[in-house]
Chain A
Amino acid sequence: MDEIIKTIIDIFFSLSLSLSLKDARALPFLQENFGGIDIFQDFFFFFSLSLSLSLVKLTLNPPEGIIAGPVSEENFFEWEALIMGPEGTCFEGGVFPARLMFPPDYPLSPPKMKFNSEIFHPNIYVDGRVCISILHAPGDDPMGYETSAERWSPVQSVEKILLSVVSMLAEPNDESAANVDAAKTWREDRQRFNDIARRTVEKSLGL
């Protein structure tokens, strides 16, 4: 795990050197945390500012069970994340890779998220796309979420999304199912659901 974090920090530093961007508004924050590294001065530009800051925050202070960062230096708007199956649930022990795709106008619009590995879960489409309320603005109501559910707004963060995904793994919402089959199994045959989940966990570890 330390290796991966180190790699992400490396990518972040090389990114900051290789890109020529125009916003230095993040500097005070970075100086506080990195002791005034000048190379950041050129790093931030308009829309990716909050993305950059999310990355710094996630890298410095990662929430438990989550690692995330850009896939490559070329594309800052596509991230890779590793989500650990939450303890005490049927997904415990699994390590699930996922992609986050940020739109050009992030954070005005939410990112999309897709698991790269197979997960049988009520709120994940068969092709891996994650369907939870925080990834949708109110009004975008494909699954008819309950009105009190957390929604996307420009003051939400990547960290919040990832934490919501972890809690989604722990507590599936079978009321608004993206995978109807999984929702039905979760509701009616918990034993079978747990068995499938355990196989998914083993698969995710390459067993």
Chain B
Amino acid sequence: MVVGGRGTVAPPALVSRFSPDMADFHYDPEKNYDEQTLEQQRHIEQEVASTQALVSERLSLNQLIKDYSMEDNIYQQKIQDLRSRYRDIRKTRGDGNCFYRAFGFAYLERLLHDKSDIPRFKEVVNQSKTDLVALGYPQFTLDDFFDTFLDVLSRVESSCTPEELFDTFNDQGVSDYLIVTWRLLVTCYLQRNGEFFANFLEGHRDIKEFCCQEVEPMNKECDHIHITALTSAVGIPVRVEYMDRGEGGLVNHHDFPECSKPAITLLYRPGHYDILY
């Protein structure tokens, strides 16, 4: 299962370079096509950024109905099924970081109402940082991200309002620093349990390579293995409702870890995660 955030956007430069429609295309050695490809990629990212908030307001699930055509029976049925169990949705930007952003916001929002889990969670975060140093990550680089993370957590503990949390998550700088920290928590857990997780890797990569390529870089999408690692690392169970084109009219869910009592619920639609209420 491949899941994540920006799967639906085809790389357009590839189309323009290799599409059979471009029969009259002539390679010009003076032109830098790689730059053009990256430029176009940036352009798409900017377009996504200008139309989607990092984290949206809480919206009624009725909003989803018009995301799909009325003739699309499978999705319309599944939305009805969702509405029988949930009321609202909070959307996140499709930038490849959506799982971490949705997970992070939903958890911190929950902490605003029930602060009892904060000391335990802080302990986990601090321990992970110690473990990362032991794994060879430079302390001062880690400090940069973890300090921002713990600072936001402390504000949630003391005086943060829901509006302030919302603003924090929509401040790109801070918001992305939080994403880096979640990613580091995943990389730490994966590497410390490398023997187990190596069984789930495809190809010839070892767990360290996998982390360097699929976990630590920004905008790399989240897969089953990331979610398993994150929920185990931080001890925050999550339910994911999978809304895809499968038959049956009902939306199936999966709890990470299995048989847990989920603290937060996310909606998965192919390539993207949002928060459910």
On A, residues with C-beta under 8 Å from B are: 25-26, 29, 46-47, 49-50, 53, 57, 105, 107-109, 125, 131, 137-140, 142-143, 147-148, 150-155, 157, 180
Q: When A25-B147, A47-B173 are in contact, do A155 and B216 touch as well, CB less than 8 Å?
A: yes
Q: How far is the CB of A80 from chain B (nearest CB, A)?
A: 23
Q: When A50-B144, A108-B218, A139-B220 are in contact, do A151 and B176 touch as well, CB less than 8 Å?
A: no
A44 (CB) vs chain B CBs: closest residue: B144
Q: How far is the CB of A104 from chain B (nearest CB, A)?
A: 9
For B138-155 the 0/1 string (1 means CB < 8 A from A) is 111111110100000000
Q: How far is the CA of A148 from the CA of B96 in the complex (A)?
A: 21
**Within 8 Å CB of B216, what residues of A?**
153-155
Scan residues 137-184 of chain B and give those whose CB is less than 8 A from a CB of chain A. 137-145, 147, 172-173, 176, 180, 184
- B194 within 8 Å of A by Cβ? no
A138–B37 CB distance below 8 A: no
A137–B34 CB distance below 8 A: no
A29–B218 CB distance below 8 A: no
Contacts between the two chains (Cβ within 8 Å), count: 78
Q: Tell me which of A25, A143, A152 contacts B217 (CB under 8 A).
A: A152
Beyond A53-B141, A139-B96, A153-B212, 20 additional contacts (C-beta under 8 Å) are: A25-B147, A29-B139, A29-B140, A29-B143, A49-B144, A105-B173, A107-B144, A108-B176, A108-B218, A125-B32, A137-B217, A138-B217, A142-B35, A143-B34, A151-B217, A154-B216, A154-B218, A155-B137, A155-B138, A155-B216
Q: When A108-B176, A108-B218, A153-B218 are in contact, do A140 and B213 touch as well, CB less than 8 Å?
A: no
Q: When A25-B147, A53-B140, A155-B137 are in contact, do A105 and B176 touch as well, CB less than 8 Å?
A: yes
Scan residues 214-256 of chain B and give those whose CB is less than 8 A from a CB of chain A. 214, 216-220
**Within 8 Å CB of B34, what residues of A?**
131, 142-143
Q: How far is the CA of A108 from the CA of B216 in the complex (A)?
A: 10
**Within 8 Å CB of A140, what residues of B?**
38, 41
A46–B173 CB distance below 8 A: yes
Q: How far is the CB of B15 from chain A (nearest CB, A)?
A: 15
- B209 within 8 Å of A by Cβ? yes
Most chain B CB atoms below 10 A, which of A29, A131, A151: A151
Q: When A53-B140, A105-B176, A108-B176 are in contact, do A137 and B212 touch as well, CB less than 8 Å?
A: no
**Within 8 Å CB of B139, what residues of A?**
29
- B205 within 8 Å of A by Cβ? yes
Q: How far is the CB of B220 from chain A (nearest CB, A)?
A: 6
**Within 8 Å CB of A25, what residues of B?**
143-144, 147
Q: How far is the CA of A57 from the CA of B140 in the complex (A)?
A: 10
Q: How far is the CB of B202 from chain A (nearest CB, A)?
A: 11
Q: How far is the CA of A57 from the CA of B138 in the complex (A)?
A: 11
Q: Tell me which of B38, B143, B145, B173 contacts A154 (CB under 8 A).
A: B145
B13 (CB) vs chain A CBs: closest residue: A142
In the complex, 29 of the A-B residue pairs with CB atoms within 8 angstroms, ordered by the A residue number, are: A25-B143, A26-B140, A47-B173, A49-B144, A50-B144, A53-B141, A57-B140, A108-B218, A109-B218, A131-B34, A137-B218, A137-B219, A138-B220, A139-B220, A140-B38, A142-B34, A142-B38, A143-B34, A147-B205, A151-B212, A151-B213, A152-B217, A153-B212, A153-B217, A154-B180, A155-B184, A155-B216, A157-B138, A157-B141
